[in-house]
Every structure is written in C-alpha cells, then in structure tokens.
Chains A and B, each alone.
Chain A
Amino acid sequence: MSVANRPVHRPLSPHLQVYRPQLTSVLSILHRATGIALSVGALYLATWVIYAAASPKAYALFQGFNTSIAGRIVLGGWLFCAFYHLCNGIRHLFWDAGYGFELKDAYRSGWIVVAVSLIATAVSWIVGLRLV
C-alpha cells in the first residue's frame, strides 16, 4: 500500500460519549426524548376519542389495555413526560426571551424543573391511584 492510500487516523471531534454527563446536557436530551414520546402519546390520545365514538365494544377493548398493569405504566410514563416537557418548555421560553443564560441560573432553573416535574408526577400518581 502506498503512503497516499494508507488510511489516515485523524482525530475526530469529541462526541457525547466522551463527556461526563452534566445536568444541562441530560435535561436537554430528556426534553427531546419526552417530546418524541409525547408526540406518540398525542396519537394515542386521538385514538382514545376515536374508539369512544366508535362503539362500546371498541372502547372496552381500548380501556382493557389502559387499566392493565402495562397500561398504568404507559399512563404514569405519559404523565411524567408531560410534566417534564411542560416545565422544561417554560424554561426554554424564558431563554427565548433572553433570560437565565448565566451558568448558575441555567443550573438553578434545571434543578427547579427536576423538582417540580417529579413532585407533579408523584402527586398525579398518588391522586390518580386513590381516585381509580
């Protein structure tokens, strides 16, 4: 092999896996992941009203899954995704308006988002379990 054809191992730009996870990067990735999950969830919600309009039998089939253990997990997961994406989305709107860009502020708002979304999720699970 001539020198010109030999593969050259140039250094590549460092990517996600070489960085220690930081709160800011983890929350950013989680925002996108929950957004994708919620988009699928929106189709599921649309399916719910379509089944409710179709027939009692179709609705019973749909609710059969919703009230199963797997259905409860999906619902619980949906609630967490919704509260997290909602809280972090408000954080994004503040950034859009030009506020909270200092590193200290980005961390503080990040921890507020984590706390509020976890509390809201816990409350919804507890209240939901008691009501059903």
Chain B
Amino acid sequence: MSDLRTPLARARGLGSARDGLHHWWAQRLTAIALIPLVVWFAISLVMLSGADYDIARAWIGSPLVMVLLILTISIGLHHGQLGIQVVIEDYVHGDGWKLALIVAVRFIAVIFGLAAIVAILRIGLGG
C-alpha cells in the first residue's frame, strides 16, 4: 500500500488526531492491566456486598488489598476517562462544548481517584 502522507507528517507520526498513538495505546495498556484486577475486584465485591463498617475497613486496610484497590480504582478511572473522551468526541460536535466536557471528565476522574487513594491510605495506615 502506498503511503499518502507527506514526509513531514510521517516524521511527526501524529496522524489526523494530532495525538499519535498515545490515546490508543493508553487505552489498551489500562485494559490489559484491568483484566486480572476486575476479576479480583468482582469476586471481592460479591463477598463483601453486605459487609459492615469494621469488616469493610479491615479488608480495605490490609496491605495487599490496599495495593490492589489503589491500582483498580486509579487504572479503572483512567481507562473510563479515556473511553468517555471517545464518546464525547463522537457525539458532541461543538468545539467549545467538546473541550469543556473532556476537561471536566478528566478533572472528575482525578479528583475522585485522589480522594479514594487518600481514603484507602487513611484506613490502612491509620490517622
């Protein structure tokens, strides 16, 4: 197949999205990481769905669960943010609205993720 790109475009390697492979690659990388994490988390959620305060805190605060839970929430929110961004890019056509929504979704993901990490550390490390 002949390459229709200009030499400059080929050298930049950013394509029509002006972002190269970064979004695509990040989405796949987080997807692969989430395969074992979601299986683990779904099983845990079923076991813990009726847990009271003390049981839930003891579970969240154990060292292995802390690590896995922080990974699940942060990678899950990152993957979700990347996916919602594509939905917005597909269905929201005004440039202003599109940018505002993508920024808002990213901010919400970061705020909830950071708050959840602080909460997990607080439960596990005391304070």
Binding site for B on A (CB under 8 A): 32, 35-36, 38-39, 42-43, 45-47, 49-50, 52-54, 56, 59-60, 63, 66-67, 75, 78-79, 82-83, 86, 89-90, 92-93, 96, 124, 127-128, 131-132
Q: Does B12 contact A (CB under 8 A)?
A: no
Give 21 pairs: A residue, B residue, CB < 8 Å, sorted on A. A32-B83, A35-B84, A36-B84, A39-B80, A42-B73, A42-B80, A45-B116, A49-B73, A49-B123, A53-B123, A59-B56, A63-B50, A66-B50, A67-B50, A79-B46, A86-B34, A86-B35, A89-B34, A92-B31, A124-B46, A128-B46
Q: Please name the residue on chain B nearest to A58 by beta carbon.
A: B53
Within 8 A of A (CB), among B38-84: 38-39, 42-43, 45-47, 49-53, 56-57, 60, 69, 72-73, 76-77, 80-81, 83-84
Of the candidates A38, A50, A52, A132, which one forms a contact with B49 in the assembled complex, judged by CB atoms under 8 Å apart?
A132
Binding site for A on B (CB under 8 A): 28, 31-32, 34-35, 38-39, 42-43, 45-47, 49-53, 56-57, 60, 69, 72-73, 76-77, 80-81, 83-84, 87, 108, 112-113, 115-116, 118-120, 122-123
